[in-house]
Structure 1
Amino acid sequence: MSEAKALPSRRKGRLQLLLIVLGVVGPMILATGMYKLQFWVPEGRSYHGELIGNGQTRADLGVQAQEDRWQLLVTAPKECSVDCQQLVYLARQIQIGLGRDAGRASHALAVTQPLSSDYETKLQHEYPQLQRYSLDPQIYTKGAQGNDTAHLWIIDPHGNLVLRYDPSVKGKDLLNDLRHLLKLSNIG
């Protein structure tokens, strides 16, 4: 009679073990399937720019730089026209708007062509913390998928591209996105 009672309790134990393993491994399998097969992906977004989630880095844009903070990078594949200058101004204002977190971010400009002497002088006087880089136009064309307008990019401290904004971006939206990223991030 003891053997007859042992079989149901053994089955019950195996069932419990199976349920525990499924409870741990099941969500991981589901999440992997959702990511790989792109099903049940939420449509709602909390950011305003274009999310860059393909592993691109600053180097994929043709910018060779090392920065250990979050960066607001303005790229101008042609001359730095009115749109580019507006984005440079916006990047500085966003960094200032971060308040106590301003030290966690920097702003930079990457251009393919030399700046006009008037604008260069203005940058030296009014934007002393602006970092400047050269931009390789051939690499940029591949990395930015052929977009030849000025853009503002949010780049994480590891050099990964996070979000891209066109010249029509509203400063408040960009500031909210960057604050949200800084709040969630323990790096930089």
Structure 2
Amino acid sequence: MGAAMNPLDTAEVPSPPRRGRGRWQLILILLVVIGPMILATGMYKLQFWVPESRNYHGELIGNGQSRADIGVQADEQRWQMLVTAPQDCGPDCQQLVYLARQIQIALGRDASRACHALATAQPLDTAYDARLKREYPQLQRYPLDLATYTRETQGNGAAQLWIVDPHGNLVLRYDARVKGKDLLNDLVQLLKLSNIG
């Protein structure tokens, strides 16, 4: 007869746990959770894969500037179309003030969510001042700190219209060439996307 069989030879010996598989699962889970955040941060900081198209017509103010940063002190809690006039309120300024009022009217049922305002660094012409009081009763008026405004806008002395959110942050800027339809579309889109104001 042959050699006696060792009972340990026939018993199944459990294999050691496969740690490599568990580590790969952990790495995969971390990549799924943290990967998109790292990618989004890289896209923002390094400006890659950023879409070139845009849906707005004004100049986007994305640097966190507020109304106070351009020299206007106000405590408005609604969306605001703010016209700034660092010089006298000439034809361009007057056109923007008129446009802001018309846009607010065109908002229809959302008109109460927005307002229009004028910030001037110099006193208005007496006739135009009287006209504003008579024809623009809801127009808010503010003084404009010229030194602050000039510093923040790199000396741009032209009248401009700003869309300001209910927290006082500047969102979009337009010059006097803006078309009313474009401005209205931008503001309607902001109101639609916003749950504030």
Report the TM-score when normalising by structure 1. Answer: 0.95
Q: Secondary structure at the match of 1:2?
A: coil
- Which structure has more helix as a fraction of its residues? 1
Matched, 1:153 2:162: yes
Equivalent in 97, 108, 121 of residue 117 of structure 2:
108
* 2-structure distance, mates of 1:101, 1:14: 55
Q: Could you list the per-position Cα deviations for residues 4-30 of structure 1 after superposition, in whole angstroms to 9, with x for gaps in the alignment? A: 4x31xx433332222121111101001
- Give the corresponding residue for 2:33: 24
- Give the corresponding residue for 1:90: 99
Q: Secondary structure at the match of 1:125?
A: helix
* 1-structure distance, mates of 2:181, 2:14: 73
- Give the corresponding residue for 1:81: 90
* Counterpart AA for 2:161: L
Matched, 1:43 2:45: no
Q: Cα distance, 1:3 vs. partner?
A: 2.5
Q: Percent identity?
A: 72
Report the TM-score when normalising by structure 2. Answer: 0.91
Q: Secondary structure at the match of 2:55?
A: coil
Equivalent in 66, 70, 78 of residue 61 of structure 1:
70
In structure 1, runs of 5+ residues without a counterpart are: none
Q: Cα distance, 1:82 vs. partner?
A: 0.4
- Give the corresponding residue for 2:10: none
* 2-structure distance, mates of 1:22, 1:106: 46
- After TM superposition, the runs of 4+ consecutive aligned structure 1 residues lying more than 4 A away are none
What RMSD over aligned residues (CA atoms) do the two structures have, in Å? Answer: 1.0
- Give the corresponding residue for 2:15: 3
Matched, 1:72 2:71: no
Q: Which structure has the greater CA radius of gyration?
A: 2
In structure 2, runs of 5+ residues without a counterpart are: 1-12
Q: Could you list the per-position Cα deviations for residues 100-121 of structure 1 after superposition, in whole angstroms to 9, with x for gaps in the alignment? A: 1111111000001111111111
Q: Cα distance, 1:149 vs. partner?
A: 0.1
Equivalent in 128, 147, 167 of residue 137 of structure 2:
128
* Counterpart AA for 2:61: I
Q: Secondary structure at the match of 1:54?
A: coil
* 2-structure distance, mates of 1:38, 1:14: 33
> When the two structures are aligned, how many residues end up with a matched partner?
185
* 2-structure distance, mates of 1:16, 1:71: 51
Q: Secondary structure at the match of 2:132?
A: helix
